Amino acid sequence: MEDPLADELRNHWTDTELGRTFALLIIANEHAAQGRPDRAVAIWQQLISEGGTAGDSARVDYADYLFLANRESEARSHLEAVMTGRRIYASPWRSAAEMLERRGELDDALLWYEIAADNMTAEDVTNTYRVRELVTGRRRVKWRLGLPLDGIDLLGEQGEDEELDREAELHDLLRLPTVSNGRIDVWDRSEFDDAVRWRKYLIGGNADRYCHMVERELRDRKQRVTIATWTYGGLQDCLRNVRNRHDELPDGRRVAWPPARDQPCWCGSGFEYKKCCGGRCLPQSLCPLLRIPVGRVCGMADEEFRVEVVLSDEGHGLTFWDRFRALDLDDDARKRLGSQVTVTRDGNRMLMYTHTLEDAQEAERTAKELVADDHLDATYTITRWNPAEQDWTDPSVPVGPHDEASDEAKNAGMEVPDPRYVVLQAYKPEFLRDLGL
């Protein structure tokens, strides 16, 4: 008996080696797309009458066409017929689930995937391609519905939505680290090196500012924490490895916080913790700009001088700071900055504190040389803490009489931040390049 669809096969370009059913489905969909629905429906109905997997495939394609034609009840009747046939691991089953998924009917799509995934084992998923595709579909839909993934789901491939969400979530997790369940995930300090500076748009800021933010979070929690450091390569591996969960160990280090006495800092700088993140001041972003009576709040001597450097172009603030921090101070510079110096900054504004006017002038000269080397412009101001005025004034302004009561009266109404955020730790000049403030 001649095939009733032989003419369709003879008169079409489709390669018959693809198989009769597959070729006819391609032809039917082409007819539907080009405005020949009668010929498309004739093919689908013939395949449906033949039954089996070919009939199921035709029903799914026909249902898709009927949905587009707003003939929903007819479309669903064909899907019900496919489900009744229970040919779960044949391609039409997955096609039906994927069609419902495309239509946004996620609960219905999940039902199809769940029926197929019922009683599946890891071995089934690993060894059978069609089973793995069904698990991949279930994972994709569960992710979109916000449902937790189980061990079988993690054996499937992640969908585009999950990939984008995971990447955004991991970037946010690392950009704004927060302690959760005794753990905090942070970027490894090496990721801020000059060699990978092109990643700055992903990791944000620079190493020192980032480590400050992490240290503040750690101190605020007042508990023992495990720090898990991430590298960019580890992040990419995690995103590619669809079986990873967010809380799994990255390729970086695990560090206990706070470190034991005389142990290296958690940030990976190589310095002892107390000489690195554990000993630095942790100013809030605006603290260096507040008119805080630093000598009083921070416990410094009253004789304090301040050098203020303000770059004219805010976009170059970090460039200048990196140059200053990375400066390899030679013996001559050490002699010039012979007394203790404290440095902090906020964006394009840097403040240097000294105990003598001479050291302040030397610090100003050092900053000017660096700014000139970078072909930048900046303004420089040297002031002295005037306890009588409770403010920074020109060094030539004499310090008048004052007492504790008058000082308190002058500061009435002034908000003083938590001292944890304004303590300025003094360092010998050889540590200037490692302050990271």
Pairing of strands 183-187, 254-257: unpaired
Whether 356 and 407 map to the same domain: the answer is: yes
Report the C-alpha gap between 203 and 199 in whole angstroms: 6
Whether 138 and 186 map to the same domain: the answer is: no
Whether 302 and 399 map to the same domain: the answer is: yes
Is residue 283 domain-resident? no
**Average pLDDT estimate for 378-386:** 89
> Among 4, 3, 44, 2, which Cα is nearest to 27's?
44
DSSP type of residue 261:
T
Is residue 51 domain-resident? yes
Is residue 224 domain-resident? yes
Whether 131 and 171 map to the same domain: the answer is: no
- Does the pTM exceed 0.75? no
Whether 296 and 268 map to the same domain: the answer is: no
Report the C-alpha gap between 320 and 326 in whole angstroms: 10
Is residue 1 domain-resident? no
Whether 270 and 301 map to the same domain: the answer is: no
Kindly tell me the burial class for residue 84, based on how many C-beta atoms sit within 10 Å of its own C-beta (0-12, 13-18, 19 or more). exposed
> Per the structure block, which two tokens stand in for 278?
């554990």
Report the C-alpha gap between 120 and 99 in whole angstroms: 23
Chosen domain end from 275, 310, 327: 275
| Higher local confidence (pLDDT), 423 or 39 | 39
Whether 32 and 134 map to the same domain: the answer is: yes
Tell me how many domains the chain contains.
3
Assess whether pLDDT exceeds 70 at residue 16.
Answer: no
| Higher local confidence (pLDDT), 36 or 317 | 36
Assess whether pLDDT exceeds 50 at residue 289.
Answer: no
Chosen domain end from 157, 185, 207: 157
Whole-number Cα distances in Å, 150 to 106, 136, 161, 191, 235? 18, 12, 18, 33, 22
CATH of the domain at 393: 3.30.70
CATH of the domain at 150: 1.25.40
Whether 265 and 334 map to the same domain: the answer is: no
Whether 174 and 201 map to the same domain: the answer is: yes
Q: Pseudo-torsion of CA 339, 345, 348, 353, nearest 10°? A: -30
Confidence label for 386 from pLDDT (cuts 50, 70 and 90): confident
**Average pLDDT estimate for 222-245:** 73
Is residue 325 domain-resident? yes
Range of the domain at 186: 162-275
**Average pLDDT estimate for 281-300:** 35
Q: Which of 53-62, 332-341, 386-395 has the highest mean pLDDT?
A: 53-62
Whether 375 and 414 map to the same domain: the answer is: yes
Cis peptide before 258 (omega within 30 of 0): yes
Assess whether pLDDT exceeds 70 at residue 49.
Answer: yes
Is residue 321 domain-resident? yes
Is residue 366 domain-resident? yes
Whether 193 and 138 map to the same domain: the answer is: no
Whether 39 and 146 map to the same domain: the answer is: yes
* Coil vs helix vs strand at 186: strand
